[in-house]
Structures are given as structure tokens and as C-alpha cells.
Amino acid sequence: MVLLRRLHPARRGKSPGASCTITVERKETPRLIIDRHISLEILRPFVAGLGLLVLVYIGFSAARHLSMAAAGQMDMLTAFKLIGLSTLITLEILLPSAFFFSILSAIGRLYRDSEMSAFYAAGVSRARILEAVLKLALVVALITGLISIMGRPWAFRTSYALESQAEAQFDLKKMAAGEFLNMGGSDYTFIAKDLDLEQGLHRGVFLQKEHDRENRTEIIVAEAAAMPTLNPGQGLQATFYNGYHYLIDNAARRDVTLEFKELVIRLANQEAQEKYRRKAETTFVLSDSDDPKDIAEYQWRISTPLATVLLALFAVPLARSAPRESRFRNFSIAIAAYIALFSMVSVLRSLLEQDRLGAFPGLWIAYAVQALLLLLLVSMPKLRALRRRT
């Protein structure tokens, strides 16, 4: 606001005929005051609510991973890393959710304390309130988008690698028990006499696999073998040192014997490959894929910023209430709308993965419906005002 103040000439020691001087004081505009006030009202419950949700999730995740660490399935450092990575992944849901309920709480309080009535009496329109919320929502949407598009695949890649390493270490310990074990979920049967944890090697190993189609039995006997490892986008593999590789013909036609110094066996693990490729793949690679599951994952990632903005704007009209009206009714409606939106997105995502829904409209149907409902809620006060005038 610009304040103009005219100084009396006599006070400045000049003659009455002298020209007057105008000084200008610049003050903060009402637009900035409104933005700051509404933003602070929203940010206070947002920070508290998000912190509480993160703590609850960390507690849930810690109970799972630390119990696995206590059982010897992974070390403590790996457990804490996995807790942090899983928390980063879930932030793409926690951020828009906490922001939505924070707006409900903040705007609802402004209505109950009659501050909204004061805003409207001062000439502040409902569109101006939406604009103030939109500015803050764009910042939260940007953070959510970065987590979903870049942070999510990186966190999945890292967590899969840590889980695979921990699982391999755990299997390594189990294989040292001198019992026949199924290796890496494959149809290989493995046994070892001893274990060298420092070098990650089994000593005195035996491996067997039945090839029913070829009517053959594959047997490997070696002095040592490296533990199975999971490489991104590949199956499990194990390396054997100084031994013999036998292919025994069960029909007694011809057997094959191979002596080796180093032999690598790859184990099929399609489930791990698929799980890794879809969630841990970069968003850029998913954008060029024609696979329905990849398309669903890609649309989910790029639509999270839009979902954040729409949820934020949706909360503003839902928080509208009379000064002494109970907030339970509006809060119940808001929760129902929140659940309905995410349920719709979940159903559409499942249909997209099953190739029962095209890439277009895809997940965008849910957001189009929400945008239409938002338009209806925003226009309702205007329609009521027109009816009163007529």
C-alpha cells in the first residue's frame, strides 16, 4: 500500500508560497499479507501432521526391519538404510495427504473464528483464497513430483540392492549348515561343507539340477563357490571354482564331464527381474515402454504433482462452514472424498496394468472427475448468490 502524506510548508521552514513536498512510504500490500497469513495457518498443522505421519511410518518400518536384523537376516546398518529408503518412497503419499488435511484444518479454523467473514467483508473474494492456497500447493507439488519421478525409482533400486545383498548373506549362513537347500528360489539343490564369511565363499560344494525335458541330471562338484548375487535386471548367479561339471544322461546314452577352474551358473529369477525393472526403472525409460504395467507406473509418477494440487484446492471449499457449525460433517465429507479419489486411482491403475484400459484416458479419468467436482464446489456459492438476487 502506498501512503501519501502532505507536509505543511510552515513546518519545513519555508514560505507559504513554496511548493509542498510529498513523501511516499511503501508498505506491504494486502495481497502479500493474505498469502503470508494463509500460508502460515496451513504450514503449522502441515509440518506437525507430516512429522507425526513420518514418525508413525518409521515406527512401523523399524519394527519390521529391526526384527529381521535381530533374526540375523541383515545387519543393523542395512536395516536403518532400508527404513530411510522406504520412508522416502512413502513421502509421495504422505506429502499430499498431510497437505490436504492441513488445509482442511487451517481453512476450517478461519471459518469458525470468523476470519473468513472478515476477509469477505474487506472485499477478498473466494477466488483470492484459492489463489493463495494454489501458490503454496505448487511448491508442495514440486517436491512431491521430484520424489515420485526421481527419488522413488532411486530408492527402489537402492533398497532392492540392499535387500538382495542381505538375503544373499543370510542364505550364505544357512548354506553352511551342511543341509541340502534350494538356491535362490530356483530348482537347483545346493550343499556346502564349510563357509568362509570373510571371502564370501563356500567350501566343498555340491550342486544338482534335474532337466526333465532333456532327461538329464546336472551335477557340479567344486572346491569353492561364491554366494549368489542379484544384479539389476538380471537373474541370480553363482560362481564355482576348481571342480567338475557333470551332465548325466538318465537314458544311459552319453554322459559329459567337464573340468573347470571357474564356472558361472545363472539362475532364473523372473519375479525379481520384473519387480526390479518396473519400480526401479527410470521415468524416462518407462515413458517409451508399451507394456501396460510400465504405463501404469509411469502415469502414477507423473500425476502425483497434479493430484497434490487438486487435493489442495479441493480441500478449500470442503472446509467451508458457519462460525459455530460442527466441523465433523465437513471433515467426514472430506475424508470420504479423499478415500474416493485414491480408490478410483487404484482401480484405474489396476485396469491399466491388466490392459483393460487404454493409456489414454488412463489415470487421467480420476483427475478429470475431481476437477469437475472442484469446479462444482467452487461455483456453488456464486449460484446461490444469483438465486438470491433473482
pLDDT more than 70, % of the chain: 76
Do residues 269 and 60 make contact, with C-beta atoms less than 8 angstroms apart?
A: no
Mean pLDDT (the chain) is: 78
The pLDDT of residue 91: 93
Q: How large is the average pLDDT for residues 262-279?
A: 64
| Nearest Cα to Cα of residue 308 among 102, 109, 125, 84 | 102
Return the minimum-mean-pLDDT range out of 62-71, 138-147, 187-196, 266-275: 266-275
Q: Taking Cα atoms as reference points, which of 123, 130, 137 lies closest to residue 107? A: 130
Q: Could you tell me if 169 and 197 are in contact, meaning their C-beta atoms sit under 8 angstroms apart?
A: no
Residue 17's pLDDT band, with cuts at 50, 70 and 90, is very low
Of 331, 350, 365, 311, the residue nearest 92 (C-alpha): 311
321-360 pLDDT, tens digit per residue, is 766 666 677 778 888 888 888 889 889 999 988 888 888 8
- Residues in contact with 384: Cβ distance below 8 Å, sequence separation at least 6, in sequence order: none
Cis status of the peptide bond prior to 317, with omega within 30 of 0 = no
Q: At CA 386, angle to CA 384 and CA 390, rounded to 5?
A: 120
Q: How far apart are CA 92 and CA 97, in angstroms?
A: 9
User: Which of 209-238 are b and which e, b meaning 16 or more Cβ less than 10 Å from the residue's Cβ?
Assistant: beeeeeebbbebebebbbbbbbeeeebbbb
List C-alpha distances in Å: 232 to 114, 162, 169, 350: 58, 11, 17, 25
Tell me how far apart the alpha carbons of residues 255 and 20 are, in angstroms, rounded to a whole number: 114
Domains in the chain: boundaries: 30-168+278-389, 186-268
In this prediction, residue 209 has a pLDDT band, given cuts at 50, 70 and 90, of confident
Q: What is the mean pLDDT of residues 214-226?
A: 86
Question: In the structure, what pLDDT confidence band is assigned to residue 3 with cuts at 50, 70 and 90?
Answer: very low
